A and B are shown apart, each in its own frame.
Chain A
């Protein structure tokens, strides 16, 4: 008798687990720990789960920056990756060797919904590996409009005008430019956000650079970004404690008008909006000024992507593809807008920004609508040297000249190109 009952119970338990396994799928979504990425991932997952009660998406977080890059690389190399994961598009993705490690999405119907300019940043050898997650961003100068009004300044379109504004701001006792070298990655914007100006001055720079025919050190337009950092240091544009100030405390200085400008990506806006809701409308955005006001425009960063590793199979793969399809849809974009203040345009066809979007995002959208934009170099070339941030800090703290830093950066880039096995670098 006892055995019979036990047997019956066993059969029941087995049957139940088979039934539930067919229905319920749970996915783990690996996302970097920045507030913005977490919020975006959470908004997407919750909206998707509300529509598909049988799917559970759990968010797992990892560190950002190069430390996180290594975690992703190591987990992929050891076959231990989460079911889906969030990661940069562009040059960083190339280092993951996507053809060997990620699921090719090029046959999926939802690829149709993605804005074409995003696709090259998640492609390798004809395969497409990710869907845009979050919004695109502008790289340029965030500025405090209250300071501009008080001093009667206008938005500069050339570097000379920008320098003149800075002198006026300095004379008024306000620090002209925010430098947050405590977080070294923030130091690179003068160089990276200048890329639209570089591309205007030297058409085809990205191709020449990728094939080892153009260098930062001997291309004056490219060298300019480093020279700006040197000029900023020598002219005393940075605020007090610039060598150790960190990103978030720095944003407070900008929001409160203690500094006037911050060379940064527009993704900083959502942090300002969260920490200083009263001051966010004082923050505007303009493209990094260059040598020519006619061709001045904004350098655009593509959003990160969501990818599926080849280790995800079966029912999990189907559920993951469903979720990626949702991310690449207008509903997915709307779900994000409802939860997270957009920092720029979505890369999904038909997705629009709400009317009450942040003023700085409107400033950015104006450049995009006018066609005055280029994708950042790291999205049109697979190479970006990893030491750029330290080199920028070295120039901006007066330890190195612009020329020295550019030459050093070219060495750094060479190493990266060789590591990726690009033709023309051996």
Chain B
């Protein structure tokens, strides 16, 4: 047990840089705020946010994006992790190649893919065209834009998911694998050893990428700016646009909504997963 004063420095840092801004943002979300002065207007900002057709679209897109990216990351990264923990050759090289996109700046990735996905001269469509396939407008087609960005997000995030799975798989004691190989081979090994015993890793990947998906901003902003129109707007880009427009109170209300949303989705998920962990 440390003496009380020992906590003071941390408490000061925490209150000044984390607690105070949080409390202040709750207050400012209830005001009409011009940066020069703030008028208290009660819950008007929240009412406006929920009455806005943009927000409803943004909210729907946020969920599609979060579910799609976290789901795909699990589905793709788990088999990759299994493959790259088996005894194939050059697995360090493959691990490196798959992990590489994680290291690149998101903004750079966004700009690069923006160019690759250019509809008539971009590399992706040039290749598709040479193969005699169609040339979709990846970022300009309102029905496709959100999915194109989600695809890039998965490409970029798969390395992290894979590393977490590899760590999970490597922590399983080898005797289980030996037993599984005697019982019935690779499928049994995957279904009855890796899947249940790497469950913690799966939960980590799902929760991390789900939170990441709900909060996603930089990739959307560099690739489509929420466009065309409002087709790929997510909660964060809507918030940012309100801020850009000078609606500071409204934008802060959006941030509070995001905070509450992440909490009410992720907290029960964590509870659920942690309980499963105890049962193991």
**Which residues on A are within 8 Å of B, measured CB to CB?**
66-67, 69-70, 73-74, 77, 95, 97, 100-101, 181, 184, 240-244, 386-387, 390-391, 393-395, 397-400, 408, 411, 415-416, 418-419, 421
Q: Is B241's CB under 8 angstroms from A387's CB? A: yes
Q: Is B230's CB under 8 angstroms from A184's CB? A: no
From B118, B228, B244, B247, contact of A397 by CB (8 A): B228
Q: Output the nearest chain B residue to A393 by Cβ-Cβ distance.
A: B229
Shortest B138–chain A CB gap in Å is 9
Chain B residue contacts of A398, Cβ below 8 A: 142
Q: Is B245's CB under 8 angstroms from A66's CB? A: yes
Q: Output the nearest chain A residue to B121 by Cβ-Cβ distance.
A: A241
Q: Is B32's CB under 8 angstroms from A418's CB? A: yes
Query: Total number of A-B contacts with CB less than 8 angstroms?
Result: 90
Chain A residue contacts of B227, Cβ below 8 A: 181, 184, 243, 390, 393
Chain B residue contacts of A394, Cβ below 8 A: 228-231
| Most A-side CB within 10 Å, residue of B32, B35, B137 | B35
| Residues 99 to 152 of chain B near chain A (Cβ within 8 Å) | 118-120, 137, 139-142
Q: Given the known inter-chain contacts A240-B120, A419-B32, please indicate yes or no for A95 contacting B246, CB distance below 8 A.
A: yes
| Residues 1 to 59 of chain B near chain A (Cβ within 8 Å) | 32, 34-36, 39, 48, 52-54
| Residues 187 to 243 of chain B near chain A (Cβ within 8 Å) | 225-231, 241, 243
Q: Is B246's CB under 8 angstroms from A73's CB? A: yes
Q: Is A244's CB under 8 angstroms from B245's CB? A: no
Q: Is A241's CB under 8 angstroms from B142's CB? A: no
Q: Output the nearest chain B residue to A398 by Cβ-Cβ distance.
A: B142
Q: Mark B72-86, 1 if CB is under 8 A from A, else 0.
A: 000000000000000
Shortest B211–chain A CB gap in Å is 27
Closest 10 A/B residue pairs (Cβ): A243-B140, A394-B229, A386-B245, A66-B244, A77-B35, A244-B140, A393-B229, A397-B228, A243-B228, A399-B229
B163 on the A face (CB < 8 A): no
Q: Is B139's CB under 8 angstroms from A67's CB? A: no
Q: Is B245's CB under 8 angstroms from A408's CB? A: no
Shortest B31–chain A CB gap in Å is 11
B158 on the A face (CB < 8 A): no
How distant is the Cα of A391 from the Cα of B36 in the complex, in angstroms? 29
How distant is the Cα of A419 from the Cα of B32 in the complex, in angstroms? 6
B160 on the A face (CB < 8 A): no
Chain A residue contacts of B139, Cβ below 8 A: 243-244
Q: Output the nearest chain B residue to A65 by Cβ-Cβ distance.
A: B244
Q: Is A241's CB under 8 angstroms from B48's CB? A: no
Chain B residue contacts of A399, Cβ below 8 A: 142, 228-231
Chain B residue contacts of A395, Cβ below 8 A: 229
How distant is the Cα of A100 from the Cα of B34 in the complex, in angstroms? 12
Q: Given the known inter-chain contacts A243-B139, A386-B245, A391-B229, please indicate yes or no for A77 contacting B36, CB distance below 8 A.
A: yes
From B35, B137, B231, B241, contact of A244 by CB (8 A): B137
Q: Is A242's CB under 8 angstroms from B244's CB? A: no
B250 on the A face (CB < 8 A): yes
Shortest A66–chain B CB gap in Å is 4
Q: Is B246's CB under 8 angstroms from A419's CB? A: yes
How distant is the Cα of A240 from the Cα of B227 in the complex, in angstroms? 17
How distant is the Cα of A416 from the Cα of B241 in the complex, in angstroms? 13
From B140, B225, B226, B247, contact of A241 by CB (8 A): B140
List, sorted by A's number, 10 A–B pairs whose CB atoms are closer than 8 Å.
A70-B246, A97-B36, A181-B227, A243-B140, A386-B245, A393-B228, A394-B228, A394-B229, A397-B140, A419-B34
Q: Given the known inter-chain contacts A393-B227, A399-B142, please indicate yes or no for A244 contacting B34, CB distance below 8 A.
A: no
How distant is the Cα of A390 from the Cα of B140 in the complex, in angstroms? 13
From B53, B142, B247, contact of A419 by CB (8 A): B247
Q: Output the nearest chain B residue to A392 by Cβ-Cβ distance.
A: B229
Q: Is A181's CB under 8 angstroms from B247's CB? A: no
Shortest B39–chain A CB gap in Å is 8
Shortest A253–chain B CB gap in Å is 12
How distant is the Cα of A74 from the Cα of B33 in the complex, in angstroms? 13
| Most A-side CB within 10 Å, residue of B228, B245, B250 | B228
From A243, A390, A415, A419, contact of B230 by CB (8 A): A390
Q: A240-B119, A386-B245, A394-B229 are in contact. List 6 more A-B contacts (CB 8 A).
A: A73-B246, A242-B140, A386-B244, A397-B228, A416-B247, A419-B246
Shortest A129–chain B CB gap in Å is 15
Shortest B60–chain A CB gap in Å is 14
From B34, B52, B244, contact of A97 by CB (8 A): B34
How distant is the Cα of A68 from the Cα of B227 in the complex, in angstroms? 20
How distant is the Cα of A258 from the Cα of B265 in the complex, in angstroms? 51
Chain A residue contacts of B230, Cβ below 8 A: 390, 394, 399
Shortest A381–chain B CB gap in Å is 16
Q: Is B244's CB under 8 angstroms from A70's CB? A: yes
Q: Is B34's CB under 8 angstroms from A70's CB? A: no
Shortest A399–chain B CB gap in Å is 5
